[in-house]
Structure 1
Amino acid sequence: MSTHVYIANSLNQDVYVLPAEKTGWLLGDVGFSVALLATGATEIRLLGMASELPTALRTVRDLFIFLRIMSGTYGSAQNISKFSQQVVDQVKNNAIKIPAGQVVDVLDQGFLSTYTSLSGVIGQIFSADTFNLLVMTDDGKQVALASTNPDYSWIVQGDRRVRSAYGASPWQADPGAGVYLFNAGDFVPPGSYQQTCKDIHVTLTCSAKARNGSAHRASFDLTAHSSDVSLSNVDGSLVVDNDTASANGFVPGGSYTQTCSEIKVELTCQAQKGDMTYQAASLDLTNFESADVSNNNGVLVNES
């Protein structure tokens, strides 16, 4: 049975898609310059971003986190911006290009054969029940990493992606399939709230034990991360390590759980009310296995 995943690009700029069977796929295996990634990662970590970035830019997951962070707070710094553009250029050179206003089947053998020369890598994508798509806009300011079934199709719209209606035109959205924002990872729950909320973040807080036995309040921004991120407690601070771990609902895995307590994961945003004004809103995700969040006049509600 043939497999197709169509991406319809409704933007006025090109979109680039990097298919990956796993988020832990090594970038060096799909054409990226390992030397450039290693040098840039070292420079950036020297600027104090160690807690947010992985210890190295090695995998598709690392690449997504880097692009998401660089498109935000740190992207304006000149020395970071230069390296960021080099990484964006590498994505363009190694990903499948979807021109503005066009539809492309990203599982087309012709596209995949130019994307990678490793036949085994292509075979892994086709044999997987689900796989991942890293999606980046031409300006590098919007990026997404999400899993998809091999028979789903997607539409890129503004600051979000929506799923196409099954069996219909790739341009026809499925209104019941939810909205998926760019620059958001797996810990950002789906739901209709994304249509009427802004400044969406998911943050983990806890009491982390330091080496001397004292407890410190620690926090970590989960917004950009995939569900297999692994966190460690380094002397009272939460950092990403190079392992992968399974999340428990919205609580990420990792060795930090052995030396941290009072772990809480919270969704925060500015939520639009009926009078079109915004107010701060939050929802505790700690004990949810899954969530389908709605905005009820400025209050976040889990409908699942």
Structure 2
Amino acid sequence: MGFGSADNQIHVANRCGENIYVIPMPNKDWVWGDIGFTVLTTILTFGEAAPAAATAINSLSRLQKAITLVKSILGNPYVKAIKYAALEYKIARNGLREVETEILRKAEAARKEIITFLKSEGALIKPNEFKQVSNEKNYNPLRMISPSGWGGLFGASDAALFIATESLSRFALFNTNSDYSWIVEPNMVVRSKYGHIWESAKSEGYYRFSASDRLVEGQDLKPNESISSPNKSYDFVYQEDGNAVIYERRKPDGEKAIWASDTYGKAAWRTCMQDDGNFVVYEAEGKPVWATDKCGYDPMYEGCSLVMQDDGNLVIYNKDNKVIWASGTYR
């Protein structure tokens, strides 16, 4: 049934190894239809719209706050300084400078602001615990016959979840049916088997639990880690079989490979965005098995980042935002 039905609940189990915060929301694609339906139905039934409108606007306000939070995590350069470990890398390589001290101060201030929001709006779930994060029966009982309610009856994604680790190192934002539950693993959020919160049912749905949309110089991906486009439509994954693959998401339970390094069968170790502008896939014992080979030690290759874009293209940009290499998977 829909997001506001009497019996629907979303539970989230934490198996990722650190505290997480979960914010449940209505699916933004249903919000305005539900607001209109709620207000109209309340007028016809009770002769006034104020209480229903207030409830609906409150839901919309929470949704907008969460979307703003996601944009902050994606786009705030001071938060990125912590997330990507770029600041620590620069300090280790160049020595501490005043500008880096100021960036660190602003980064910590931004982090505290976001954590404060998560604590006030989200449910805290500790490692190896689970919690009910959504039960909307008290919001508005008329929602069970609203557009999202009918959609939920037939399996539509009438709700949304934002999940972030306390360190802000990983996050996920995705739509879900309001009667589904999820397990947060170190690199993935997976559907729970119905009635069994700790038993995963990956065939029913999963999402990458990615650190960001990019790797900055000096940063790497370990096996089964990924970066994801901001719109969550594309994932670049370093797999345990040694292959590095770009996936286009088709459904919550499926994805299609659109590019690969063709290093399947190589002993997986790590990939690295190097400070010479080269992105390299290494197998065990540090042997390179694939590389972009667009590199050098001159200003053109300084400050490079590997970015998974919303258009499906995996691109290396230098510090001046010039393209050094691209996968050519523009969709």
* TM-score between both structures, scaled by the size of structure 1: 0.48
**Greater share of helix:** 2
* TM-score between both structures, scaled by the size of structure 2: 0.45
Larger-gyration structure (1/2): 2
